[in-house]
Structure 1
Amino acid sequence: MKKLLLFLCLLAHTGLSQSTQIDSLKRELVLLDKNPSGYARDTLRYQTLKAVMRAYSDVNVDSSMHYNTLMIGLCKGSGLQKELVYAYQYAGYLYQIRGDYHQSIRFHYKALPLAEKLKMHTRIAASHGALAHAYTSLKEYARATKLCKQGLAVLSHYPDAVIQLSILNVLGVIYREQSQLLNALKINQTMYNLAQSKHNVWYEAHGLHAIGLVYKDMGDLPKALDYHKKALVLARKTGSIELEGNILLNTTDLYARQHQWKQALAYCMQAKQMAIQVKNSSIVAEADEKLYKIFKQTSQPDKALEAHERFVFLRDSLSKDKNQQRIETLQAQYDNVQKTNALLAQKNKYQQLAQTRNGLFLGIAATLLLALLLFWNNRRLQAKNVEINQQRALLESARKQLADINRTLEIRVDDRTKDLVKANRELIQKNEEIKGALFKGQTIERKRVALELHDNLSSLLSAVNMSIQAINPQNLSEPEQSVYRNVRQLIQNAYAEVRNISHNILPAELDREGLATTLTTLVGQLNQNSPLQFSLTITGLQERLPVEIEFNVYSIVLELINNTIKHARATTVGISLFRTDTGINLSVIDDGIGMGHNPNKPGIGLQNIQARLDSLGGILTTVLSAEKGTRILIKIPIETVRFNGD
């Protein structure tokens, strides 16, 4: 209910005074039609039609176009050539508003030669500017640029500041949309300087706004923001709600790009509140769209959803209302035409009665002539029917041939599809074989490296240790004995480290016993040698997993345990491994200090884990506790859909 009330408020017209003015002008038109025809009546009727047309342009474009059509007809019938130029140009303006740029171009090209014939130089320049505007909307920038320069050339001899400002505005848009930003900046600065010299506050504000848009495209957001704020001050003096609203919304966008969400929200709310006060629903809709993005970025999902619902609801409602207005306008025009036709029919009825008697004599002669024509046409129709039947038979034969071709083509397409499906399955199978061979090669290489470490480097360290033991520490001085003890300790540490590395590269127990037994042994060893207390829960792993998954899961658990020991400052660590219908779920939970304020910047260990998960198609989720500790959740699929459900 609240949404409906908001919608009704926003769709209300800008005021009853405009409707009253239009109704008054329409009554004047009815009174003028009763006056004797002549130049005076036509001139007054033109002025009244012009006033109604302009009044409707802010309320109902379809009605404005209807009265523009009446004005064009009046100018043509009464020989009002100069007025016809204006009527054509206004028609082009109305089509530009509706987005029908080709029709806009057509009417401006009607106005241009007539203005040239009458030597209406400012109207010529205005047509050039309007055509450039339409071609810019169609992205035909070369033609639009040429038209702008032609219009400015005319104005260099016959100045008109307002038309010159409008052409400079179009030219600035052309350069900016083509990313010729330096040219756009120069043109917009010229437009601003001219508006300032002519005290045209609207174009002053618009010029500053356009300069700010160019700096935004250049990436200089602070400077763009400065120009937008200056433009906003001037726009508020003009009373133009549309201009002020656009500047506020663009300022909102600048703050959003700089992630200054508080300022972006403030300007966006200004635009929306201002638009609601004057019932400008288009600005309200755009503001709600931007509010949705702001609330989404500031982690306010409820407000973001509410703003998005308002935006979608208002957008759809405006579209529906606009279509309804057009239908009602067309219906009213149709009713007027029907009434006019009824009056004409009544008038013609009396004239026809007077002519009926004379028409009877002509009717008899015409009937005889018609009978002859019917007989002749009947003979021709029979011949045509024969020809049509022949053509129909040919057409039916062609249809059958086409149907046969279509069936053949469908069979070929089905065969080709089956071949592609088979090839795709073979390719998937080959990829799996390659993947298995790659992992097998990696396993062999890991075994070789582990054996090299264990057999060679461990033997070497044992030999060094034996050589060191041959030294009698009693013959050494006190400092030398300290060095001797340190060296022996370092050798023992190195030997232990080499054994751990060779074991972790490819634990023999993992190959023999499987993941569950290996992890149980690992946790038991950790609880003997580490001040941390580890707990392990394994569910549903009665059967062995694929060897690739077992090795990677073991490596991931080992990496997470090392990270916890080195960085977490925890006292307890819980490890849980759960077998599901489609894969396995792994969680590692500790009560340590957590991952700090930048969990999105993982270290080398987490990067290695992510690389392993990418190869398995798994996902990793980090959950930070509100109090302390870290929870790592990992999901790895095992059964996957290969192709078309096979």
Structure 2
Amino acid sequence: MRRITLILLLILPTIILAQTPKLDSLKNVVQLQFGKPISVQRDSILTITMASICSNVSLTEPELRQTWTDSLIHFSKNSKWRQSEAYSHFANARNFHFKGFTTLAFKEMETATKLFKQFQNTKMYSLAYSNLSVIIANFFYSKPVADEATEKKYLSYLLEGLDLTKKQGDPLLIANMNLSLVVYFLRHKNYEEAKKHGINAFEVTQADTEKYYYQHYGGKWTEGLCLAYLGKTNEGFAIMNQIKAIAQKPRKDGMEKFFQLNNGLTLGNYFLEKKAYQNAVNEAKIAESALKSMKLSTFDYAVNKIFYEAYKNLDKPKEALEYFEKMRAYEEEEHHKEVMGQYLEWQLKYEDEKQKNQIQTLENQQLIQTKNFLLLAGILGLGVIAYVFWSNRKLKKKNQEIQEALLQGQTMERKRMASELHDNISNKILGVKMRVELLENENFTAKERTNFDATLGFIDEVYSDIRLVSHNLLPDELEKQGLKIAIENLIKKLNLIGKTHFEAQIQINHARFSPRLEYEIYSIILELVNNILKHAEAKNAMISIIEEEKHLKVLVVDNGKGFDNQAINFESLGLKNIHSRIESLRGEIKIESNEGTAVQIEIPV
């Protein structure tokens, strides 16, 4: 697994379109074109130039790349040139890739590939295909070797890509596909095949080593690495030392930093495998130095792992613990990044829906004006009635779409809050616990020991509560498996708290209801459960959901202290939210309290 992560360095920084152009001259082209009248020709020049800027921004300037990517996406929405959309997906995929959002990068590049093929843009189709293979390599090869069928399918995909790029004849694309195959064969410890494709990448880019700088010397580095693993140590290190010397020369595009990073990581892991731990530390320091000017958290993790394993074997626990904590922080960050990736995907969909709804709102306003005019005129008879009927159906559909977009927005906000609770606050609490556990407690008195244990128990309780709250804001199973599974899992988690024992009785005929109905019912039940835990002092409670004909009946009962039926106040925050949700679903609610409380809800489905 270690070697695969390192080889991805060789194929990540894929320079595309124009090769190492001056950004200032490209920016001047953009300014000049924006001053011209809108036309297909102008918009095509602007699109390609902006995409070139996105692809050639230095790796040390991610904010600048983000700015130009956003500009291209915004411009493509109103461009007169149809291919602008494909270029915007292409640039956005690369931006997501550099930022570590591999799943989003794959989806965007896959869309770009399909669009370029549809437009019969063979050059960009081949280029997008090449970039897609790089993204897939990053996605699959951060995981263990899969089943044989999957591995063969992936190899077939790469070989097909190599044939495609050879037909195009672009040395850059051919080199990148060879480096993707290097990843595959190193993953399977087939060093001879990996070496062969590394040499191919080196040789195909010999005509212009400056233009294909990274691919050319990256292929040569692969040859040296494979020779070392094959036991030809002197020959392999002679090649790698040659590349090391080249990597010391500063470059305007900052690519020498990638070589220095690759050198340190590769040799650091090589020395770990050979149990030369001090050498591994020395090489990791080279990589760590190169990373200071680069924002690449994936490689921070790889460097920290070398330090951790080396110091652990050198019997230096203090240093090993330091880098272990850095690794742990990265793993937590990666989980957060995965959540944020899902959030960004929803945000993209939401923004698209929002734009459509704005257009639809204007259309609705026009429809209403037309309707009023026809009613006042009173001259079209049955034609007016037919038109009004059609308009009402149209408006109802638009309102439903607006409600769905609103639900998506609420869903994203709940995900954001859940992520913040889980990844920020819970991590801080976990950090407090770790520091408390590190206190030297061997000499505590009995009283101090009791307080110490109680404190740890309280921290565990708070940590568990936060994780429960963050999960229940919008559990994955509600979106993926439906209301029944979500409620059953909620019951299991509630019973782990131990405060009130909950039971569930669920009899529904539909496998799934509409997302909005499931979301609202789950939220109502969650609000009622919260009231039971906070106020009822109940030992037992039951949640019942039964589908009868065209109605869904929800019953939540507890054996707590109850309250005065005359004192029910629907203006209180909790009950007001419940009542509003039920009204929006055209349902009814009835609350009775004597010895315990029973809340009956009936909703049409």
What TM-score bracket applies, with the shorter chain setting the length? Answer: 0.3 to 0.5
TM-score, normalised to structure 1, is: 0.43
The structure, 1 or 2, with the larger RCO (C-alpha pairs under 8 Å, 6+ apart) is: 2
Which of the pair is proportionally richer in helix? 1
TM-score, normalised to structure 2, is: 0.46
